[in-house]
Structure 1
Amino acid sequence: MKEARKLLRFNVDIVNHCNLNCVGCGHFSPLAKEFYLSDMDFLKDCERLNELTHGLIERLELMGGEPLLHPNIIRIMEIARNNFEGEINVCTNGILLEKQSSTFFEACNRLNISIATTIYPIKLNWTKIEEFSEQYRFKLIKVGTKHYNRRLWYKNHRDLSGKQDIKSNFMKCRWGNNCIFLENGRLSTCVMPFKARYYNEFYNVDSFQIPESDSISIYDVNNIEEIFEFISKPVSCCRYCMPENDELIDWRVSNKEIEEWS
């Protein structure tokens, strides 16, 4: 068990698919079908979490896939800010930033929402993006990928036999209780319980067997402390991970080869 959180930080994939599709993506986005989170579903979950947290959170990250693909991203941003005090970021690969309207950038300013752009080894017009940040006065965060200029990328190896030690893996994992995900009214200590199904569906296998008990319903708890206790503990899907075997590989766009995730 890791130390229980004092404030909630969580991520939401507002789309599952992506326009970049990195090799071995931890969200399995290259394998996911096109999906856009509905405004009403997001609103319902945010209002419930507002009740539990009294609106005070550490951070909310609007992610994907690529979140700028969402046709109603401004409405999603408004729902997030209307319900929460704390840091809110749109986490993007940056490819679509130059195509965004002034209304989008004005919303970032008005709602105090940052743009967090991961520095993938791809060509972006950083001068133009920084000009947008200065012009519309929103915070631009550059998220450095390790050795990005050398085109290196993390590969998270998975043990498809599920024979890894759950408790040991969780304590070694940098994501557990730190990369918390919300999906369909449920929270989990990491992304795997919600996203590994894309692997099963795409390759027509049953490699990842992940029960609903690997996440917790935000509607069934009485208070936020119950959630903090749950996400500070390992879940059954930790048996598939090998945190000590993370490997630096050459970054590239996914070919959807099954070996990318094993």
Structure 2
Amino acid sequence: MIHNIEDEYRKIIIFGYAAVGKKLYERLKHENAEDNIVFCDNSSTKQGEHDGIKVISLQEAVAKYGKSKFIVASLRHSKQMEQQLLDAGIPKEQIITELPGDIVGEELAKEQKLRLVPLDSIHIEVNINKDCNLKCKGCDHFAPIAEADALELDVFERDMKRLADVMAGHIHRIILLGGEPLLNKNLLEYVKIAREYMPRTEIFIATNGTLLGKMGEEFWCVLRSATVGLMVTKYPVKLDYDGLKKFAEGNGIVWEYIGSSESGRTLWHFPLDLSGSQDAMESFIHCANANACHTLERGKLYTCSIAPNIEAFNNFYGKNLPLTVDDGIDIHMAHSAKEVLEFLAKPINFCRYCNVKGRTYDHPWEISKQDIKEWT
């Protein structure tokens, strides 16, 4: 598939500087001259030089090497990335999306194995409110059908204090999110509390950015003094994200784009199995959220974001997908960080209700119609 493709083109462009792309690079080095291989990536945080490998932007790659073959190196976002290349003027015949099966298999197997390994350091997401102003179709936090449920400040402070006591040194990042956290009138109080109890931990607010232009001087001052950054999902809406980024960074605020959204947000379909007939272990090891999107919900830590938010789905559609007491670990009852981290690396009962193998990716962004099929 990738043999001798340099015969016709001057360069081979690997689009995606991540695990799959790096493995592909190592293989290509043995088949082609190393200086014929170029990495490009949409993420500004990945651009630059890493271990002697230069990573350029997609725009630069298209401008310099538009006659080259582009290999899309992604396990889940190849559809979106291929469309970005087409939109940039790269002909379809110059785009390779089919990757070597052994590389894909090895990377998937590695992911699955690591999900069952307790992590030494985790990031924790805290929903400070459940409602959102964008209401994206199929949101895995169920924001389009959730009520405006703001997390009580005293509960948040109690949880932050306990995390600081039991998880000291094992949390590298706290993310305040929703819903849309900028809708929460007490947002800055959560920021201050989090920083008080987590003085050396990265703290970020995850936002769609649409309300940033309405934030007053106090907002920017508190974020700057507390060294709290912004994690922004870039949606296909009429919003000057670049201008907002420049303004935030000019105020001393770290700005990060979430995942692949820097090039435009697409949607995922994460179907639930209402019968609960999925194999919990199979669901867990194949789920990209498992032992990754660690969510704190009123004193309990969950291995993912779907389980602790299922109440909104149940209430809106009159369903009863059960969230049992054993699906989360009570941080106030846990005796050690080891106990917490080991719990997060195991399937939970709720995994039976996620049809992980039925998930699909990179759908065009839409507003929710509140149709149950968005989640089933």
* The two structures share one fold, judged by TM-score above 0.5: yes
Q: Please state how far the C-alpha of 1:43 moved relative to its aligned partner.
A: 0.5
Q: Does the 8 A contact of 1:120 with 1:145 survive in 2?
A: no
Highest relative contact order (Cα 8 Å, sep 6+), 1 or 2? 1
Residue 359 of structure 2 corresponds to which residue in structure 1? 246
Residue 22 of structure 2 corresponds to which residue in structure 1? none
Q: Does the 8 A contact of 2:138 with 2:267 survive in 1?
A: no
Q: Does the 8 A contact of 2:137 with 2:367 survive in 1?
A: yes
Residue 237 of structure 1 corresponds to which residue in structure 2? 350
Alpha-carbon distance in structure 2 between the residues aligned to 1:87 and 1:147 = 21
Q: Please state how far the C-alpha of 1:41 moved relative to its aligned partner.
A: 1.1
Q: Please state how far the C-alpha of 1:198 moved relative to its aligned partner.
A: 1.0
The alpha-carbon distance between structure 1 residues 21 and 246, as it changes in their structure 2 partners (threshold 3 A), is same
Q: 172, 181, 199: which is aligned to 2:295?
A: 181
List structure 1 runs of 4+ shifted beyond 3 angstroms. Answer: 144-149
Residue 218 of structure 1 corresponds to which residue in structure 2? 331
The alpha-carbon distance between structure 1 residues 205 and 53, as it changes in their structure 2 partners (threshold 3 A), is closer
Alpha-carbon distance in structure 2 between the residues aligned to 1:136 and 1:152 = 29
Amino acid at match of 2:342: E
Task: Tell whether 2:234 aligns with 1:153.
Answer: no
**1:60 partner SS:** strand
From the CA coordinates, give the structure whose radius of gyration is larger.
2
Q: Please state how far the C-alpha of 1:143 moved relative to its aligned partner.
A: 1.9
Residue 89 of structure 1 corresponds to which residue in structure 2? 204
Alpha-carbon distance in structure 1 between the residues aligned to 2:263 and 2:279 = 32
Alpha-carbon distance in structure 2 between the residues aligned to 1:146 and 1:155 = 16
Alpha-carbon distance in structure 1 between the residues aligned to 2:281 and 2:318 = 29
Per-residue displacement from partner, 1:67-109 (whole Å, max 9, x unpaired)? 0011111110011111112221100000100000111111111
Q: Please state how far the C-alpha of 1:7 moved relative to its aligned partner.
A: 1.8
Structure 1: segments with no counterpart, 5+ residues: none
Task: Tell whether 2:369 aligns with 1:255.
Answer: yes
Structure 2: segments with no counterpart, 5+ residues: 1-114
Q: Please state how far the C-alpha of 1:145 moved relative to its aligned partner.
A: 4.1
Alpha-carbon distance in structure 1 between the residues aligned to 2:351 and 2:149 = 26
The alpha-carbon distance between structure 1 residues 114 and 50, as it changes in their structure 2 partners (threshold 3 A), is same
Q: 1-10 or 19-28, which moves further after superposition?
A: 1-10
Q: 209, 214, 224: which is aligned to 2:322?
A: 209
Give the aligned CA root-mean-square deviation in angstroms. Answer: 1.7
Amino acid at match of 1:91: A
The aligned length equals 260
**1:119 partner SS:** coil
Given the two structures, how large is their TM-score scaled by the length of structure 1? Answer: 0.94
Alpha-carbon distance in structure 2 between the residues aligned to 1:201 and 1:120 = 28
